[in-house]
Amino acid sequence: MKFYEKLRKLRKEKGLSQEELAEMFNVSRQSISKWESGQSYPETENMIAISEMFGVTLDSLIKDGELETDNNNAISSPFWLTRGSVYEYKSKRTLFGLPLVHINVGRGAKKAKGIIAIGNIATGAISIGLIAKGGLSLGLLSIGLIGIGVLSLGLLAIGSISIGAIAIGAIAIGLLTLGALSIGMYSVGALSVATRVAIGDHAYGHIAIGQVASGTRTLVGPQEGSLFSGIRAYDVRQIINEEFPGTWNWIVNLLSGFFR
Protein backbone atom coordinates (compact mmCIF):
# COMPACT_ATOMS: atom_id res chain seq x y z
CA MET A 1 0.00 0.00 0.00
CA LYS A 2 1.38 3.39 -1.02
CA PHE A 3 1.52 6.45 1.22
CA TYR A 4 -1.29 8.24 -0.61
CA GLU A 5 -3.57 5.21 -0.21
CA LYS A 6 -2.78 5.04 3.50
CA LEU A 7 -3.54 8.72 4.02
CA ARG A 8 -6.87 8.47 2.26
CA LYS A 9 -7.75 5.36 4.29
CA LEU A 10 -6.78 6.97 7.62
CA ARG A 11 -8.69 10.18 6.87
CA LYS A 12 -11.87 8.32 5.99
CA GLU A 13 -11.61 6.12 9.07
CA LYS A 14 -11.59 9.30 11.18
CA GLY A 15 -14.60 10.64 9.26
CA LEU A 16 -12.72 13.72 8.13
CA SER A 17 -13.21 15.59 4.88
CA GLN A 18 -10.26 16.87 2.87
CA GLU A 19 -11.25 20.41 3.92
CA GLU A 20 -11.20 19.48 7.61
CA LEU A 21 -7.83 17.76 7.32
CA ALA A 22 -6.44 20.73 5.41
CA GLU A 23 -7.61 23.11 8.14
CA MET A 24 -5.90 21.02 10.81
CA PHE A 25 -2.57 21.14 8.99
CA ASN A 26 -2.97 24.74 7.83
CA VAL A 27 -2.65 23.80 4.17
CA SER A 28 -5.03 24.09 1.21
CA ARG A 29 -7.55 21.40 0.30
CA GLN A 30 -5.70 21.09 -3.01
CA SER A 31 -2.57 20.06 -1.09
CA ILE A 32 -4.49 17.25 0.62
CA SER A 33 -5.91 16.19 -2.74
CA LYS A 34 -2.40 16.02 -4.21
CA TRP A 35 -1.12 14.03 -1.23
CA GLU A 36 -3.96 11.53 -1.62
CA SER A 37 -3.48 11.19 -5.38
CA GLY A 38 0.27 10.72 -5.14
CA GLN A 39 1.07 13.93 -7.04
CA SER A 40 3.09 15.30 -4.10
CA TYR A 41 4.19 14.44 -0.57
CA PRO A 42 3.93 16.34 2.73
CA GLU A 43 6.98 18.02 4.18
CA THR A 44 8.77 16.13 6.95
CA GLU A 45 7.04 18.15 9.70
CA ASN A 46 3.60 17.31 8.31
CA MET A 47 4.52 13.66 7.76
CA ILE A 48 5.46 13.36 11.45
CA ALA A 49 2.26 15.12 12.48
CA ILE A 50 0.18 12.74 10.34
CA SER A 51 1.76 9.70 11.99
CA GLU A 52 1.14 11.15 15.46
CA MET A 53 -2.40 12.21 14.70
CA PHE A 54 -3.47 8.81 13.35
CA GLY A 55 -1.40 6.78 15.80
CA VAL A 56 0.74 4.89 13.26
CA THR A 57 4.49 4.52 13.05
CA LEU A 58 6.30 6.98 10.80
CA ASP A 59 8.24 4.13 9.20
CA SER A 60 5.12 2.22 8.15
CA LEU A 61 3.49 5.42 6.91
CA ILE A 62 6.34 6.31 4.60
CA LYS A 63 7.36 2.88 3.31
CA ASP A 64 5.26 0.72 1.01
CA GLY A 65 3.37 -1.95 2.89
CA GLU A 66 0.80 -2.17 5.65
CA LEU A 67 0.35 0.39 8.42
CA GLU A 68 1.56 -0.42 11.90
CA THR A 69 0.02 1.00 15.07
CA ASP A 70 2.35 3.10 17.18
CA ASN A 71 1.78 1.67 20.66
CA ASN A 72 3.84 4.46 22.21
CA ASN A 73 1.66 7.15 20.67
CA ALA A 74 -0.08 9.17 23.38
CA ILE A 75 -2.01 11.71 21.37
CA SER A 76 -4.05 9.93 18.71
CA SER A 77 -6.68 8.55 21.10
CA PRO A 78 -9.22 9.84 21.81
CA PHE A 79 -8.02 12.43 19.29
CA TRP A 80 -5.25 14.95 19.55
CA LEU A 81 -3.50 17.16 17.07
CA THR A 82 -0.81 19.52 18.13
CA ARG A 83 1.46 21.06 15.55
CA GLY A 84 2.87 24.55 15.43
CA SER A 85 -0.03 26.96 15.86
CA VAL A 86 -2.71 24.23 15.73
CA TYR A 87 -4.09 22.34 18.72
CA GLU A 88 -7.20 20.18 18.74
CA TYR A 89 -8.73 17.62 21.07
CA LYS A 90 -12.00 15.67 20.80
CA SER A 91 -13.16 13.30 23.48
CA LYS A 92 -14.51 9.93 22.42
CA ARG A 93 -17.30 10.24 24.96
CA THR A 94 -20.34 11.99 23.52
CA LEU A 95 -23.61 13.39 24.81
CA PHE A 96 -26.60 14.20 22.58
CA GLY A 97 -24.41 13.42 19.57
CA LEU A 98 -21.73 15.95 20.54
CA PRO A 99 -18.28 15.27 21.98
CA LEU A 100 -18.21 15.87 25.70
CA VAL A 101 -15.13 18.06 25.20
CA HIS A 102 -13.93 19.70 21.99
CA ILE A 103 -10.90 21.98 21.99
CA ASN A 104 -9.79 23.60 18.74
CA VAL A 105 -7.47 26.59 18.91
CA GLY A 106 -4.85 28.02 16.62
CA ARG A 107 -4.39 30.35 13.72
CA GLY A 108 -7.53 31.03 11.70
CA ALA A 109 -11.21 30.31 12.28
CA LYS A 110 -10.80 27.22 14.46
CA LYS A 111 -14.28 26.00 15.41
CA ALA A 112 -15.09 23.94 18.48
CA LYS A 113 -18.49 22.35 19.06
CA GLY A 114 -19.22 20.16 22.05
CA ILE A 115 -20.84 20.05 25.46
CA ILE A 116 -17.71 21.84 26.65
CA ALA A 117 -16.22 23.79 23.75
CA ILE A 118 -13.00 25.80 23.71
CA GLY A 119 -11.91 27.36 20.44
CA ASN A 120 -11.47 30.48 18.41
CA ILE A 121 -15.17 30.05 17.64
CA ALA A 122 -16.82 27.95 20.35
CA THR A 123 -20.36 26.58 20.58
CA GLY A 124 -21.46 24.49 23.54
CA ALA A 125 -23.31 24.23 26.81
CA ILE A 126 -20.12 25.73 28.25
CA SER A 127 -18.14 27.66 25.64
CA ILE A 128 -14.90 29.62 25.83
CA GLY A 129 -13.44 31.44 22.83
CA LEU A 130 -12.88 34.63 20.93
CA ILE A 131 -16.49 34.16 19.82
CA ALA A 132 -18.44 32.04 22.28
CA LYS A 133 -22.03 30.82 21.97
CA GLY A 134 -23.87 28.59 24.41
CA GLY A 135 -25.36 28.19 27.86
CA LEU A 136 -22.39 29.66 29.74
CA SER A 137 -20.23 31.66 27.33
CA LEU A 138 -16.92 33.43 27.92
CA GLY A 139 -15.23 35.32 25.10
CA LEU A 140 -14.50 38.61 23.39
CA LEU A 141 -17.96 38.25 21.81
CA SER A 142 -20.11 36.17 24.12
CA ILE A 143 -23.66 35.00 23.38
CA GLY A 144 -25.51 32.72 25.80
CA LEU A 145 -27.88 32.30 28.69
CA ILE A 146 -24.95 33.61 30.74
CA GLY A 147 -22.57 35.68 28.64
CA ILE A 148 -19.29 37.05 29.95
CA GLY A 149 -17.01 38.98 27.61
CA VAL A 150 -15.94 42.29 26.14
CA LEU A 151 -19.23 42.32 24.21
CA SER A 152 -21.78 40.04 25.81
CA LEU A 153 -25.39 39.18 25.06
CA GLY A 154 -27.46 36.91 27.24
CA LEU A 155 -30.10 36.40 29.86
CA LEU A 156 -27.31 37.43 32.24
CA ALA A 157 -24.71 39.52 30.40
CA ILE A 158 -21.48 40.73 31.96
CA GLY A 159 -18.97 42.69 29.89
CA SER A 160 -17.57 46.01 28.80
CA ILE A 161 -20.67 46.29 26.62
CA SER A 162 -23.47 44.04 27.84
CA ILE A 163 -26.99 43.51 26.56
CA GLY A 164 -29.35 41.20 28.41
CA ALA A 165 -32.28 40.73 30.73
CA ILE A 166 -29.77 41.38 33.51
CA ALA A 167 -26.82 43.37 32.17
CA ILE A 168 -23.67 44.42 34.02
CA GLY A 169 -20.95 46.41 32.27
CA ALA A 170 -19.36 49.72 31.44
CA ILE A 171 -22.27 50.11 29.04
CA ALA A 172 -25.26 48.03 30.12
CA ILE A 173 -28.53 47.71 28.25
CA GLY A 174 -31.42 45.50 29.38
CA LEU A 175 -34.28 45.10 31.81
CA LEU A 176 -32.19 45.29 34.98
CA THR A 177 -28.87 47.02 34.38
CA LEU A 178 -25.77 48.10 36.29
CA GLY A 179 -23.04 50.13 34.58
CA ALA A 180 -21.29 53.40 34.05
CA LEU A 181 -23.89 54.05 31.34
CA SER A 182 -26.95 52.08 32.31
CA ILE A 183 -30.10 51.90 30.19
CA GLY A 184 -33.07 49.71 31.05
CA MET A 185 -36.33 49.26 32.88
CA TYR A 186 -34.49 49.35 36.22
CA SER A 187 -31.05 50.95 35.98
CA VAL A 188 -28.19 51.77 38.33
CA GLY A 189 -25.13 53.66 37.08
CA ALA A 190 -23.14 56.86 36.91
CA LEU A 191 -25.47 57.91 34.10
CA SER A 192 -28.72 56.00 34.47
CA VAL A 193 -31.72 56.05 32.14
CA ALA A 194 -34.77 53.89 32.86
CA THR A 195 -38.42 53.54 31.96
CA ARG A 196 -39.25 52.79 35.61
CA VAL A 197 -36.46 53.32 38.17
CA ALA A 198 -33.14 55.07 37.52
CA ILE A 199 -30.49 55.35 40.23
CA GLY A 200 -27.20 57.19 39.70
CA ASP A 201 -25.21 60.38 39.88
CA HIS A 202 -27.33 61.51 36.94
CA ALA A 203 -30.65 59.68 36.83
CA TYR A 204 -33.45 59.99 34.29
CA GLY A 205 -36.60 57.89 34.64
CA HIS A 206 -40.18 57.73 35.88
CA ILE A 207 -38.62 57.34 39.32
CA ALA A 208 -35.25 59.10 39.34
CA ILE A 209 -32.90 58.85 42.31
CA GLY A 210 -29.62 60.74 42.07
CA GLN A 211 -27.57 63.81 42.72
CA VAL A 212 -29.10 65.11 39.50
CA ALA A 213 -32.52 63.53 39.02
CA SER A 214 -35.20 64.09 36.43
CA GLY A 215 -38.51 62.20 36.46
CA THR A 216 -42.13 62.04 37.57
CA ARG A 217 -40.98 61.14 41.09
CA THR A 218 -37.52 62.08 42.28
CA LEU A 219 -35.29 61.59 45.28
CA VAL A 220 -32.29 63.91 45.25
CA GLY A 221 -29.18 63.03 47.18
CA PRO A 222 -26.39 65.26 48.51
CA GLN A 223 -24.31 67.21 46.01
CA GLU A 224 -21.18 66.21 47.89
CA GLY A 225 -20.35 62.82 49.39
CA SER A 226 -21.99 59.51 48.64
CA LEU A 227 -25.43 59.46 47.06
CA PHE A 228 -26.19 56.21 48.86
CA SER A 229 -25.54 57.71 52.30
CA GLY A 230 -28.02 60.56 51.81
CA ILE A 231 -31.18 58.65 50.90
CA ARG A 232 -33.07 56.11 53.02
CA ALA A 233 -33.88 52.60 51.80
CA TYR A 234 -37.35 52.98 53.32
CA ASP A 235 -38.10 55.97 51.05
CA VAL A 236 -36.90 54.09 47.97
CA ARG A 237 -39.11 51.08 48.72
CA GLN A 238 -42.09 53.29 49.40
CA ILE A 239 -41.85 55.30 46.21
CA ILE A 240 -41.40 52.17 44.05
CA ASN A 241 -44.39 50.45 45.64
CA GLU A 242 -46.51 53.58 45.22
CA GLU A 243 -45.66 54.10 41.55
CA PHE A 244 -45.37 50.47 40.49
CA PRO A 245 -47.39 48.26 42.83
CA GLY A 246 -46.81 44.61 42.15
CA THR A 247 -43.12 45.02 41.39
CA TRP A 248 -41.32 41.83 42.37
CA ASN A 249 -40.02 42.03 45.92
CA TRP A 250 -36.52 40.93 44.97
CA ILE A 251 -36.23 43.88 42.58
CA VAL A 252 -37.53 46.29 45.21
CA ASN A 253 -35.13 44.86 47.78
CA LEU A 254 -32.23 44.94 45.32
CA LEU A 255 -32.76 48.58 44.38
CA SER A 256 -33.41 49.75 47.92
CA GLY A 257 -30.46 47.67 49.12
CA PHE A 258 -28.05 50.30 47.77
CA PHE A 259 -29.30 52.61 50.51
CA ARG A 260 -29.32 52.49 54.31
**Long-range own/partner contacts, residues 181-190 (CB < 8 A, 24 or more apart):** 186/251, 186/255, 188/255, 188/258
Can you give the residue range of the structural domain that contains 43?
Answer: 1-73
In a domain, 163, yes or no: yes
Average pLDDT of 170-183?
A: 95
Neighbours of 112 (CB within 10 A): 26
Angle at 59 between CA 57 and CA 65, to 5 degrees: 100
Distance of CA 19 to the CA centre of its chain: 25
Q: 143-152 pLDDT, tens per residue?
A: 999 999 999 9
In a domain, 169, yes or no: yes
Beta bridge partners of 117: 102, 127
Final residue before a domain boundary, out of 73, 95, 123: 73
- pLDDT exceeds 60 at position 195: yes
Question: Worst-scoring range by mean pLDDT, 7-11, 96-100, 103-107, 126-130?
Answer: 103-107
In a domain, 4, yes or no: yes
In a domain, 45, yes or no: yes
In a domain, 113, yes or no: no
DSSP 216-235: SEEEE--SSS-GGGSS-HHH
Final residue before a domain boundary, out of 57, 73, 89: 73
Q: Do 252 and 162 sit in the same domain of this protein?
A: yes
In a domain, 145, yes or no: no
Q: Residue count of the chain, please give it.
A: 260
Instruction: Name the range with the highest mean pLDDT among 10-19, 23-32, 53-62, 158-167.
Output: 158-167
Strand 86-90 to strand 80-83: parallel, antiparallel, or no bridges (unpaired)? antiparallel
CATH number at residue 9: 1.10.260.40
In a domain, 5, yes or no: yes
Number of domains in the chain: 2
Which of residues 186 and 47 earns the better pLDDT score? 186
In a domain, 210, yes or no: yes
